Amino acid sequence: MTTYHTITIDHLTIFYREAGDPQKPTMLLLHGFPSASHMFRDLMPLLADHFHLIAPDYPGFGQSSLPDPADFAYTFTHLAAVMTDFITQLGLSKFYLYVFDYGAPIGFHIAAAHPDWIAGIVSQNGNVYREGLGAKWATRQDFWDHPTAAKRASYRNAFAPDTIRGQYLTGTPAHSVGPDGYTLDIAYTQRPHYADAQLDLIFDYQNNIKAYPTFQRYLRDYQPPLLAIWGKNDPSFIFPGAQAFTRDDPHAIVQGVNSGHFALESHAPEIAQAILRTFA
């Protein structure tokens, strides 16, 4: 049974899902863009007999507070700080970390700062290597190097309905992805302040790439048990990003599944089985 909760963190309401026995090992599930913790709705029941599962929505996402960007800095280090306070307030002292997309820089900021918290890592299309950056990132680099108001405005297409549907459907087997996830994500884009918050994060993403050496040094220094399981048809974070983990972490296991970016939408059972083989 999955239950649904809110907690006040740093004057913000943070929503989270919880499943499994708190006496079992905890796994913290960190979602990506433009989604929220609902992306784990199929995975959590498959793992709940083996793990205590916690899946929060970050500020600006899902059911959590979406403060005005004039009052809240939408940066990845700030989101990581809020999630660190969330972890502390829930009393989590040792846990597995599942990171996807935006969850990777957030999670690796936390892991690098608190390596003693981390029992192991599942990275599902959660990139921390330049080798994993698909072709679109060259255009973003131009935006970061030479920002203009017009270029910023153009990135509204990153959360346009057709783009969101494309993120879910590209690279997946025909008829394998239902409409529920992307329909809810599209609905969330209509919240006040959503666009400016997300545009701030798109601009700040450059600092995640600059932090890759820090994340990689954490992997070399602490060598956590790690499963890099990738929708291998993802055009955004390409499969070489999964393979690169083995360079820094000899414990890394790399597996591809025949899916795209949101691989849980089509391959949750296969991903759950891989997690259980690796960590349960």
What would the two tokens of residue 92 be? 């989590």
Q: Residue 62, class by beta-carbon neighbours within 10 Å (0-12 exposed, 13-18 middle, 19+ buried)?
A: buried
Q: 246 near 255, Cβ under 8 Å?
A: no
Residues in contact with 265: Cβ distance below 8 Å, sequence separation at least 6, in sequence order? 39, 42, 168, 172, 176, 177, 178, 181, 259
d(CA 105, CA 177): 26
Packing angle of the helix pair 212-222, 194-210 (nearest 10 deg):
60
Catalytically annotated residue among 52, 109, 261, 267: 261
Characterise 70 by phi-psi region: left (phi > 0), alpha (psi -120 to 50), beta (else): alpha
Of 246, 273, 244, the closest CA to residue 257 belongs to 273
Packing angle of the helix pair 103-113, 212-222 (nearest 10 deg):
50
Residue 261 falls in the annotated catalytic set? yes
Just list the catalytic residues: 261
